[in-house]
Structure 1
Amino acid sequence: MRAPILAATALTLGAAMPPPLPIHLNQIGFEPGDAKTAIVEGGSAPLEWVLVHANGREVKRGRAKVYGPDAASGAEVQRIDFSEVRTPGEGYRLVVAGSRSDPFAIREGVYAPLARDALAFFYHQRAGVPIEARLVGAAWARPAGHPREVAKCFAGRDERGIEWPGCGYALDVTGGWYDAGDHGKYVVNGGIALWTLLNAYARRPLAFADGSLKLPEAGNRVSDLLDEARFEMAFLLKMQIADGVRARVPAGPPRPAKAGKPAWETEPSDFAEIDAGGMAHQKVADRNWTKLPTPPQDDPEERLLYPPTTAATLNLAATAAQCARLWRGADDAFAARCLVAAERAWQAAKRNPQVYATNSFTGSGGYADGDVSDEFYWAAAELLATTGAAEFRDAVTGSPHFRAELREPGWPSTATLGSITLATTRNALPKTEIDRLREAIVAAADRFLADEKGNGYGIPYVASGYPWGSNSSLLNRAMLLGLAYDLTGAAKYRAAVVAAMDYVLGRNPLGQSYVSGYGTRPLRNPHHRFWAHSLDPRLPGPPPGVLSGGPNSTSMSDDVAKTMRGKCAPQRCWVDDVHAYSMNEVAINWNAPLFWVAAWLDGD
């Protein structure tokens, strides 16, 4: 038996202690059969490493593989691969030149708690209902926010001085999920988040059976995952406009931004009167931004509906069509209601194909998007999978997105969602086309795998500037990698999914777990109005399972980020600060892929 490995190399009397070498890895651990990689910063010659048990006994030793200078992290790095070690245990550590890693586990089911907690995030973000202590614990219980939300349309001048006419009705839009760290509820962001949860259900409909989660609907003989998804779906249905309603909105291509204005701040087109029946309002939100912190039950602002848009309407069409397909047999009446809404929304979007959102309103996010061809394709794909109708087949096959390369999805780029549905769901396309779409998923996964070679930390992501919400971009890539594994069984794709999760849970140059409640150094201070303990000790920090948006080196707009601009490598442009909204906010469309990937890793 080998002797225990000491915590530090013995030094001669008077010798200077060498600086510790950062060793970064997944801080919760690994499934026994998965790839196991750590990154050590420093050294141009291969470093010797030793893996030890909690009791200090040596398990395995080897030499790291030098990667060298890494632009994404701003460091020289080496990679340690100990995938051969499969023996379950707790408290493992890597020792390199006297430096010790964080402790970690090797065991089955390591991702199961994370999948449950990442999904529980959506219950915490519910609007209109109390969050019950019996389900979440006393610290996170709260009264209902906006318990009866009957909102009128925005009317008057927006922040640019544009006059909006409003509307002659109010809608009861109680319910749904708060989008992020604010109190807004957005159809375009709710759409992709809802789709992701429903796609996880479609893959494994038995995975979150009734009673497996802590939800008020437990015991209703319906999957708890479907219960949570229905809460948002019901809200999206409420955002649809009744037939026969006319509205004056900007209709047509937006004009370029005025000189001196940001590129995203395009000028809206001229107002025109449209038949708005079947369209969906873009959002319901506060007239003005609320301060930090403000629990939703204390929100003093007027709640308003903001104008309908083509993008919101197509998000409703896509998710309602998905709802109609997945609720069949669970609640046929709800499925039928969803299908009617989806078809109405599709026809409304066809009548009004260029009603774009504008970044004109304070108090909420704009989610402006000047290209909705991807939303048209996504909605047509979902409707085709649900109905088989020739109209939707023609819309799918006639779209430029049908044969385009796939990329990681995001709220402004949803075409990939449609391709995933068509590749993995029985539908009316010829088998040759379905097979081609499956090949496109694998081809996208291969491109992501190639990106692992371009960054020292070995993640399937680009090495250049990191955008707002980079963690979700990485996890959306991991979804496609997971699907490539489903389609091929090739181990390299699962290893890449693991690498993405490793990064989020600590294998990054900050040694930071970007998920609250998980790892040695978890997220603690997200930009959030009621998980704001650092601002008010009476409020809680985040519950476990909440994902930070992550490093942002390209849109450093908040006051905290501005002080870091130009001073950090892309993967280091992050700080755990409640005020750092461009780096450390949370959002439903970011937690959704965290859930999807954690559930996939636990189930495959």
Structure 2
Amino acid sequence: MADGETSHPFEIGTDAYDQLRLDALNYFYLARSGIEIDAAIVGDEFARAAGHVSEAGGSATNQGDVAVPCQPADDPAQPYETPWTCDYTLDVTGGWYDAGDHGKYVVNGGIATAQLLQTYERTKSASSADRGALADGTLDVPEVDNGVPDVLDEARWELEFMQSMMVPDGEPLAGMVHHKIHDYGWTGLPLAPADDPKVRYLHRPSTAATLNLAASAAQGARLFAPYDADYAAELLVDARTAWDAALATPDLYAPAADGNDGGGPYNDDDVSDEFYWAAAELYITTGEDGFSDYLDAHADEATEAIGPAGFSWDSTGALAVMDLANVPNDYPGRADVRQALLDGADEIAAVQQAQSFGMAYAGADDGTFVWGSNSQVLNNMVVLGAAYDASGDRSHLDALLESADYLFGRNALNLSYVTGYGDVYSENQHSRWFAAQVNAELPHPPPGSVAGGPNSDRGTWDPVISSLYPDGCKPQFCYVDDIGSWSTNEITVNWNSALSWVASFLADQSVVQAAAPQAPVCEVEHIRHGTWPGGFNTQIWLRNVSDHTLAWDDLTWSWTADQTVTRQAWSADWSQQAADVTASSLSWNDEIRSGKRVTVGFVGNPGAFADAAPEQFWLDGAPCDTVESAQKGAGKGAGKDKAKSSGKG
């Protein structure tokens, strides 16, 4: 109780976010298009028939995505001075429904896919990560037990859709990516995807959509490489094709007027951030000088990418900065990028500290809470978490933890914006099939769905919120948990992807870690002694930096892509599962005296992708410090192989 007010009851526990990590990611299977949502996986409540699987024009009840044509040139809704169309159709079955309607948008799918991939990639390189939390068998997806982490399976569902949106070879704008596909005309509530009667069109390609594919496909290529080499190679080919197409057509923008016929416009006439993001992912995946040169020439993008207003689908530079800073890579300007991340996080933390409700967001420059303000809060929390991973700065962790309280109920409305979390929470988000408010036989949105949140920009309001506040409202009060309030209460894949990243990060921070992070007892130096085409020779020095004898069993790390330890290895029992390597102690080196070290080594194969040295090691599950090492007589290319000091732990 405070000032005469009594809060809602709440629980205190050490695992408050463990289930949310899974629920937030399980949302995406329920958002899938082109597949039956199986009751055996999700229960009868959320099961539904596959949506948009009929031939276009071939069903009286459902216009499918199997052979979708382009907008007709004589369509009166065409927003272009020169009408645009094409004479081909595309099979764009699959992907995720973006939000509460049946549209599928590449720019929303791109950032959402990237954040799911980031959520997984963080488990490979962050010192505080629970490395097995997102393994195969952890999510409610049909691909479970296929040997691939479930979150990658989920991301692939959208990646394949984005690939299918590419303009075919031989056509004008070949290699570019169609911006979106959606119904011709808005549908009402409720309406299951399988019952959608509207004709659907492909909308004109855009440079932004093309770069979204280039970036997310490049990122996906390195992550799928240890599991599906053929698909990884396919992704990288498409990423390169899209990059080249965007360079050839750098200013084809989606117009604002293309949003009045059944889908939002998602217009963006500044794609410098998307170019930087795509170049970063292509560099991290390939290590090629051309992409490094592009990053050098556009280094100002890093300093401009992060700020208190938050990043979003139309401002993606932060994705590049965070990955360049935290994913092992050899970019020469990496220290400056990391500093840009830390400086931006400091700005966000300062804003968070100044807020009465302690959230990492103060609105736009004029204090307006924008459409999807909760996603801006969440994406600022992502930046804070990435900065903590990069530096171990406790102020960034504290700002993130306190911002979570805002989302879960410490706000002006005393309301949790995440369905199923808290005693009072949003449950009537705008959706055509999670529509219990208008049809009791349908479900509410599933647990782990985040509402868009307060929106005080009256120029974007829907009739529901407008009728409640005809004279306006204070920013945090401009929200209503009503299915008709699409401007304050929608759900989208790119908002839930931010929640997924944050929930996974929070689940990794135990009470002990949050209260008093433990100093590592081990230090690792990774040394390349020589490289040659198709191979390299490595030693690892494992040093005991504690004041007592250290008994150890397993030293582990993860490669960035498809590197492997060969059978030529010594001083440990070696094993590798996909990208994860384990060196197990032998009877004669399983104890290390204080201040002393043991040495293990191996010959490795660099694989087909960039061969960055690992930067984070774990000893029996606890993180070690990693120290920078000079190379010992290494051959050509060895300058790219030294381990960088991560500052983690």
Asked if these proteins are the same fold (TM beyond 0.5), I'd say yes
Say if 2:105 is the partner of 1:202.
Answer: no
Counterpart code for 1:567: G
**Using the alignment, how far apart are the partners of 1:506 and 1:316 within structure 2?**
36
Find the aligned partners of 2:119 and 2:487 in 1 and give their Cα distance: 28
Aligned to 1:419: 321
Kept in 2, the 8 Å contact 1:551–1:573? The answer is yes
**Residue aligned with 2:180, SS:** strand
Question: How far apart are residue 404 of structure 1 and its match?
Answer: 3.2
In the alignment, the residues of structure 1 paired with residue 346 and residue 4 of structure 2 have an alpha-carbon distance, to the nearest angstrom, of 37
1:153 and 2:70 matched: yes
CA deviation after TM superposition for structure 1 residue 98, in Å: 5.4
Which position in structure 2 is the counterpart of 1:437? 337
> Which of residues 289, 298, 301 in structure 2 aligns to 1:390?
289
Aligned to 1:594: 499
1:375 aligned onto 2:274:
yes
1:227 and 2:176 matched: no
Offset at residue 488 of structure 1 (A): 2.2
Is it true that 1:123 corresponds to 2:57 in the alignment? Answer: no
3-state secondary structure, aligned to 1:304: strand
Deviation at 1:561, TM superposition (A): 2.2
State whether residues 526 and 578 of structure 1, in contact with CA within 8 Å, keep that contact through their aligned partners in structure 2: yes
Q: CA deviation at 1:525?
A: 0.7
Match of 1:365 among 249, 264, 270: 264
- Asked if 2 retains the 8 angstrom alpha-carbon contact of 1:311 and 1:372, the reply is yes
The 8 Å contact of residues 393 and 428 in structure 1, kept in 2 or not, is answered as no
Aligned in 2, Cα 1:292/1:329: closer, same or farther, shift over 3 Å? Answer: same
Does residue 216 in structure 1 map to residue 124 in structure 2? no
- The letter of the residue matching 2:478 is C
> Can you list the C-alpha shifts for 1:431-462, whole angstroms capped at 9, x where unaligned?
xx212211211111111111124321122211
CA contact (8 A) 2:305 2:315 kept: no
- What amino acid does structure 1 have at the position aligned with 2:119? A
Which of residues 2, 10, 16 in structure 2 aligns to 1:110? Answer: 16
Q: Distance in 2 between matches of 1:287 and 1:423?
A: 42
For residues 212 and 135 of structure 1, what CA distance do their matches in structure 2 show? 12
Cα-to-partner distance string for 1:392-451 (whole Å, 9 max, x where unaligned): 112111113144352332111111111111111233311xx2122112111111111111
Q: Which amino acid aligns with 2:258?
A: S
Say whether 1:567 aligns with 2:567. no
Letter in 2 for 1:376: F
Within the candidate set 497, 501, 511, 2:400 is matched to 497
Q: Distance in 1 between matches of 2:460 and 2:267?
A: 19
Instruction: Give distance in 1, aligned partners of 2:325 and 2:5.
Output: 47
Between stretches 436-445 and 374-383, larger displacement belongs to 436-445
What's the secondary structure of 1:139's corresponding residue?
A: coil
Tell me the SS of whatever aligns to 1:106.
coil
Whether the 8 Å CA contact 1:561–1:580 is kept in 2: the answer is: yes
Aligned residues of 2:84 and 2:204 also touching (Cα < 8 A) = no
- Quick one: which amino acid aligns to residue 475 of structure 2? P
Unaligned runs of at least 5 residues, structure 2 = 55-64, 125-131, 510-649
Contact 2:305 2:321 in 1 (8 A): no
1:600: Cα distance to partner?
0.2
Q: Do residues 518 (structure 1) and 421 (structure 2) align?
A: yes
Check conservation: 2:305, 2:317, Cα contact below 8 A. no
After superposition, the Cα gap between the structure-2 partners of 1:405 and 1:346, relative to the gap in structure 1 and judged at 3 Å, is closer
Do the aligned residues in 2 keep the contact of 1:127 with 1:144 (CA within 8 Å)? yes
- State the partner residue of 1:185: 104
Q: Indicate conservation of the 8 Å contact 1:158/1:360, yes or no.
A: no
Give how far 1:603 is off: 1.1
Q: Which runs of 4+ in 1 moved over 6 A?
A: none
Q: How does 1:331-370 map to 2 (within 5 A)?
A: 331-358=228-255, 359-361=257-259, 362-370=261-269
Match of 1:67 in 2: none
Secondary structure of the residue aligned to 1:190 is helix
Cα distance change of structure 1 residues 158 and 336 upon mapping to structure 2, 3 Å threshold: farther
Between 1:402-411 and 1:212-221, the stretch displaced more is: 402-411
Classify the secondary structure of the residue corresponding to 1:284. strand
CA distance in 2, matches of 1:293, 1:147: 19
Q: Is the Cα–Cα contact under 8 Å of residues 181 and 529 in structure 1 kept in the other structure?
A: yes
| Contact residue 210 and residue 222 of structure 1 kept, 8 A | yes
Q: Which piece of structure 1 moves more, 355-364 or 575-584?
A: 355-364
Q: Which residue matches 1:410?
A: 312
Q: Secondary structure at the match of 2:411?
A: coil
Contact 1:459–1:503 under 8 Å retained in 2: yes
Is this contact kept in 2: 1:527–1:584, CA < 8 A?
yes
Taking structure 1 as reference, are residues 447 and 244 closer, same or farther at Cα in structure 2, changes over 3 Å only?
same
Deviation at 1:543, TM superposition (A): 1.0
- Of 360, 373, 392, which aligns to 1:460? 360
Amino acid at match of 2:355: N
- TM-score relative to the length of structure 2: 0.72
RMSD: 1.5
- Aligned AA (2:378): L
Which of 410, 435, 441 is equivalent to 1:538? 441
In structure 2, the partner of 1:62 is none
Displacement of 1:469 in angstroms is 0.3
Name the structure, 1 or 2, with higher relative contact order (CA <8 Å, separation 6+).
1
Q: Does 2:450 align with 1:547? A: yes
Matches of 1:158 and 1:201, distance apart in 2:
44
Kindly indicate whether the alpha-carbon contact (under 8 Å) linking 1:374 and 1:401 is maintained by their aligned counterparts in 2: yes
Give the counterpart letter for 1:285 in structure 2.
H
Matching residue of 2:617: none
CA distance 1:336–1:405, change in 2 (3 Å)? closer
Matching of residue 100 in structure 1 with residue 3 in structure 2:
no
Change (3 A) 1:161 1:435: closer
Alpha-carbon deviations, 1:262-293, whole Å to 9, x = none?
xxxxxxxxxxxxxx111100011111111111
1:110: Cα distance to partner? 0.8
- Alignment partner of 1:304 out of 201, 216, 237: 201
- The question of whether the paired residues in 2 share the 8 Å contact of 1:524 and 1:542 is answered with yes
State the partner residue of 1:447.
Answer: 347
Q: 1:405 to 1:240 in 2, by over 3 A?
A: closer
Secondary structure of the equivalent of 1:188?
helix
SS of residue paired to 1:547: coil
Measured in 2, the distance between the counterparts of 1:136 and 1:167 equals: 40
TM-score by length of 1: 0.77
1:158·1:164 contact (CA, 8 Å) conserved in 2? Answer: no
Pick from 411, 428, 445 the counterpart of residue 330 of structure 2. Answer: 428
Counterpart-to-counterpart distance in 2, 1:470 and 1:406: 16
- Whether contact under 8 Å (2:224, 2:232) holds in the other structure is yes
Most deviating of 408-417 and 150-159: 150-159
| Partners of 1:553 and 1:565 within 8 A in 2 | no
SS at match of 2:380: helix
Q: Indicate conservation of the 8 Å contact 1:384/1:428, yes or no.
A: no
300 and 321 in structure 1: CA distance in 2 versus 1, 3 angstrom threshold: same
Report how far residue 565 of structure 1 moved: 5.1
